[in-house]
Structure 1
Amino acid sequence: MQGKMAQTGHQRTILNPVVPYVGTIFGGLEPGQMVVVHGTVPSDADRFQIDFQCGSSIHPRSDVAFHFNPRFKGSGHIVCNTLQNEKWGWEEKTYHLPFTKGQPFEVIFLVFHHKFQVSSNGKNLLVYKHRIGLEKVDTLGISGKVKINSIGFLSQPTILGSQPTSFAVNSIEGNQGRSEKLLTFSVPYTGCLPSALIPGKTVVIKGEVHKYAKRFAIDLKPHGSKDIALHLNPRIKEKVFVRNTYLCESWGEEERHLLDFPFCPEMYFEILIFCELQQFKVAVNGVHQLEYKHRFKDLNKINEVSVNGDVELHDVRIW
């Protein structure tokens, strides 16, 4: 094993490994884990790669379940692929390159039972569906022109920075009482919050965007009322994140401005809505996105959340 290993709680970290690096992933990979890589791209870099491998053999070459390969020629792109029986499959290309020559980077590989989800420098980057079973992945390889400062393997029950939650939302359809891991909410979903969304409270919505999603919506409102205190409406095709309020049977003025649209098809998300005295703050996958000033002023009446549209809903919580 190249590099120095530190171990704290659920995190295992390899510090300053020499590249090319090949190391065993002790215990393998499991859904809910994150692999976090910090490094720097040299100023003369042409490409580098991070490979989730099934072994470390060179002759014959071990299968590579997930080949993540940023290339800097021209405007740059990322190639993702799988190597089986020493043959490459079809390339999946992403033409957004978040890496810059001469600059440090963070790349996070979030592990699911059916896919990897990759983000870099706080922004969602791509989704790669498994072509080889996750249980076969036992080795991480890094090569090419790149300097690696640390590789972290993080295993924890809540991911992407959301805090443990103290109340499961009681669904009106009767989903309460099951364990969190088995709980699946049907969409459209409406649930009553166990306490009002007053200042200091946070609602978290966890789910996945459908492959061919057009849009979805999250509404916070008073139970039994047509009013909607906060309407969050990501529109995937348009890459627009609409926010609004519905009062007295009328929509207000839409707020649309956002520096970067944080959603894409097939991505897992955690949306955190934090209520402050004057506004809501909204974060997606641990990254702050926007503030929304209260238009519905009677905050202690906000006690219902609904989700509809092109998403699979995993969990809704308040704390």
Structure 2
Amino acid sequence: MTTLDKFQRTVQNPIIPYIESIIGGLLPGELVVIRGFVPEDSERFQIDFQCGNSTKPRADVAFHFNPRFKRSGCIVCNTLQNEKWGHEEITYEMPFEKGKPFEIVFMVLQEKIQVSVNRQHLLLYKHRINLEKINTLGIYGQVQISMIGFVANKVVPYIARLNSPLEPGRTIVIKGEVKEQANSFAVNLKPSDSNDIALHLNPRMKEKAFVRNSYLSNGWGEEEKQISHFPFSPGMYFELIILCQAHQYNVAINGVHTLEYKHRFKQLNKINIIEVLGDILLLDVRSW
């Protein structure tokens, strides 16, 4: 199974300021992961997705991500075109702390960049410059960076073998983004030696239904649909967590417990395949 540590390429402990080409540019669905540390005396730092690296005239900056620590702190996002800054988008939520490490995940999408810090969604920034023009990453200011990593997205339908069969205590995490015009998607856990589907999770956007079922002995069972609120919406980033327990699966979306599903397929140690299908951009699948 993949993990966020299986990068296509990485840079370790770069010197700041860091200005380097992004080989092959950025494609929709790619992740740029930056891990580092905020020094105690930091007033600000910035991560710039640039269109080239010229200084005179200064290269356009498609996405300027700039945490500032004065007073209660804020994060300023902007775009530089023809050496002129545009309208600032300011986020007052501050996930960075002086003296603390951080992990930023920039999820690159066709229309926007989504930023999460320390596994929590932080902000969305709509592209003002075409994604195809971004070819350079710049990091400046008072910050230490331990690693920069690039992760390509996964092709849906996605089918993979779990690194070991299911058992109580195992966790599976699926990260993705619901497409803007999505109808539905599905996650299936199944054995490799039959057509059975032990767990079928099927969010349906149009009817706001989160269907759960099992396909056993060549037939679907009774659908379970009971849910307090439907947790998905078009364009939304999500982390779907499946925790296997002795008698049931517990499912959480973005850290919030959402439902339980009692085991109908009891031979857990035969479940060794995961499938992800439907209208999502799939970013990461992990199990442990």
What is the CA RMSD across the aligned residues, in angstroms? 4.1
Q: Counterpart of 2:236 in structure 1: which amino acid?
A: M
1:272 positional shift: 4.5
**What's the counterpart of residue 159 of structure 2?**
165
Of 78, 84, 91, 2:88 maps to 91
**What's the counterpart of residue 115 of structure 2?**
118
Q: Determine if contact 1:10/1:156 at 8 Å carries over to the other structure.
A: no
Deviations 1:226-271 (A, max 9, x none): x635526246xxxxxxxxxxxxxxxxxxxxxxxxxxx898433353
Q: Counterpart of 2:159 in structure 1: which amino acid?
A: T
Q: Counterpart of 1:40 in structure 2: which amino acid?
A: F
Q: Could you tell me how far apart the structure 1 residues matched to 2:134 and 2:92 are?
A: 27
Of 207, 210, 216, 1:218 maps to 210
Q: Could you tell me how far apart the structure 1 residues matched to 2:244 and 2:151 are?
A: 29
Q: Determine if contact 1:64/1:83 at 8 Å carries over to the other structure.
A: yes
Of 299, 305, 308, 2:264 maps to 299
- TM-score normalised according to structure 2 size: 0.69
Q: Could you tell me how far apart the structure 2 residues matched to 1:145 and 1:13 are?
A: 21
Q: Determine if contact 1:282/1:288 at 8 Å carries over to the other structure.
A: no
Q: Counterpart of 1:268 in structure 2: which amino acid?
A: Y
Cα pair distance change 1:188/1:31, threshold 3 Å:
closer
Higher-RCO chain (CA-CA 8 Å, sequence separation at least 6)? 2
1:100 positional shift: 0.5
Superposed counterparts of 1:280-291, under 5 Å: 280-284=249-253, 289-290=256-257
Deviations 1:178-231 (A, max 9, x none): xxxxxx796665989796663xx46476x9x9xxxxx95523258696x63552
1:276 positional shift: 4.1
Q: Specify every segment of 5 or more residues in structure 2 that has no aligned partner in the other structure, as ranges.
A: 162-178, 215-219, 266-277, 283-288
Of 18, 30, 52, 1:21 maps to 18
**What's the counterpart of residue 40 of structure 1?**
37
**What's the counterpart of residue 212 of structure 1?**
none
Q: Determine if contact 2:185/2:279 at 8 Å carries over to the other structure.
A: no
Superposed counterparts of 1:152-231, under 5 Å: 152-157=149-154, 164-165=158-159, 189=184, 198=198, 201=199, 203=201, 216-221=208-213, 228=224, 230-231=226-227
Q: Counterpart of 2:150 in structure 1: which amino acid?
A: F
Q: Counterpart of 2:122 in structure 1: which amino acid?
A: L
Superposed counterparts of 1:240-259, under 5 Å: none
Are 1:61 and 2:53 counterparts? Answer: no
Of 75, 81, 90, 2:78 maps to 81
Among all aligned residue pairs of Structure 1 and Structure 2, give the percentage whose two residues are the same amino acid.
45
SS of equivalent to 2:48: strand
Q: Specify every segment of 5 or more residues in structure 1 that has no aligned partner in the other structure, as ranges.
A: 1-7, 168-183, 210-214, 236-262, 301-311
**What's the counterpart of residue 278 of structure 1?**
247
More strand by share: 2
Are 1:233 and 2:200 counterparts? Answer: no
- TM-score normalised according to structure 1 size: 0.63
Kindly tell me the number of residue pairs found equivalent between the two proteins. Answer: 242
**What's the counterpart of residue 164 of structure 2?**
none
Q: Could you tell me how far apart the structure 2 residues matched to 1:143 and 1:185 are?
A: 34
Q: Determine if contact 2:36/2:145 at 8 Å carries over to the other structure.
A: yes
Q: Determine if contact 1:204/1:272 at 8 Å carries over to the other structure.
A: no
Cα pair distance change 1:231/1:21, threshold 3 Å:
same
Q: Could you tell me how far apart the structure 1 residues matched to 2:187 and 2:65 are?
A: 42
Cα pair distance change 1:277/1:41, threshold 3 Å:
same
Q: Could you tell me how far apart the structure 2 residues matched to 1:292 and 1:131 are?
A: 39
Q: Determine if contact 2:248/2:263 at 8 Å carries over to the other structure.
A: no
Q: Could you tell me how far apart the structure 1 residues matched to 2:125 and 2:90 are?
A: 10
Are 1:52 and 2:21 counterparts? Answer: no
